[in-house]
Amino acid sequence: MKKLVNSKVIDIDNIELFEMAAEGMVLQSQTVSNTSDGIDQDMNSPAIQRYIKLYDIFFKSMPYPLYAIESDIKYATLANFIKSCLKDEAQIWVENGIYIKIDLNTGLTLHLVNNTWSLNYVKEFKDDNTDMELFKDFEGYKEYTWVLDKVIKRETTANFYKEFMPKFVEACNNEAMIINWELKNILTFCNVPNKIELKPNTIINPSDECEYLLDIFCSGTVETGEKAVSWNFTGDGNISNTTNKTIRTYDFDSYSKKLTAGAKSSDKMTKCEVTGLRNLFTQLCAIKAAKDMSKFPEFEGIIFDGYIIFTINKRLYIAKNNKLMAPIDVAHGVSIYGVDGGKVYFVKSKQINNAISKDTMYSYTLKNENIKMCKIFFTY
The 10s digit of each residue's pLDDT in 259-291 is: 765 555 556 889 999 999 999 999 999 999 999
Strands 307-312 and 315-320: antiparallel
pLDDT confidence of residue 36: 58
Task: Give the full edge-to-edge strand order of the sheet including 116-121.
Answer: 33-34, 116-121, 108-113, 98-101, 92-94
**210-219 pLDDT tens trace:** 999 999 999 8
Report pTM. 0.83
Contact criterion met (CB below 8 Å) for 169 and 177: no
Lowest mean pLDDT among 61-65, 101-105, 332-336, 339-343: 101-105
Which strand (E) or helix (H) includes residue 146?
Answer: helix 141-152
**Looking at 77-122, which runs of residues are DSSP E strands?**
92-94, 98-101, 108-113, 116-121
Q: How far apart are alpha carbons 150 and 66 in whole angstroms?
A: 14
pLDDT confidence of residue 379: 86
Share of the chain above pLDDT 70, in %: 88
Scored b (16 or more CB within 10 A) or e, 108-121 reads: bbbbbbbbbbebee
Q: How far apart are alpha carbons 81 and 60 in whole angstroms?
A: 13
Give which of 63, 294, 306, 42 is closest to 163, Cα–Cα. Answer: 63
Scored b (16 or more CB within 10 A) or e, 350-371 reads: eeeeeeebbebbbbbebeeeee
Question: Residue 292: left (phi > 0), alpha (psi -120 to 50), or beta?
Answer: left
Q: How far apart are alpha carbons 103 and 82 in whole angstroms?
A: 18
Scored b (16 or more CB within 10 A) or e, 61-87 reads: bbbbbbbbbbbbbbbbbbbbbbeeeee
Question: Using 50, 70 and 90 to split pLDDT, how confident is the model at 225?
Answer: low
Chain-wide mean pLDDT for the chain? 90
* Distance linking the first and last C-alpha atoms of the chain: 26
**14-44 pLDDT tens trace:** 999 999 999 998 887 555 566 655 555 545 6
Q: How far apart are alpha carbons 35 and 57 in whole angstroms?
A: 9
- Give 373's strand partners: 362
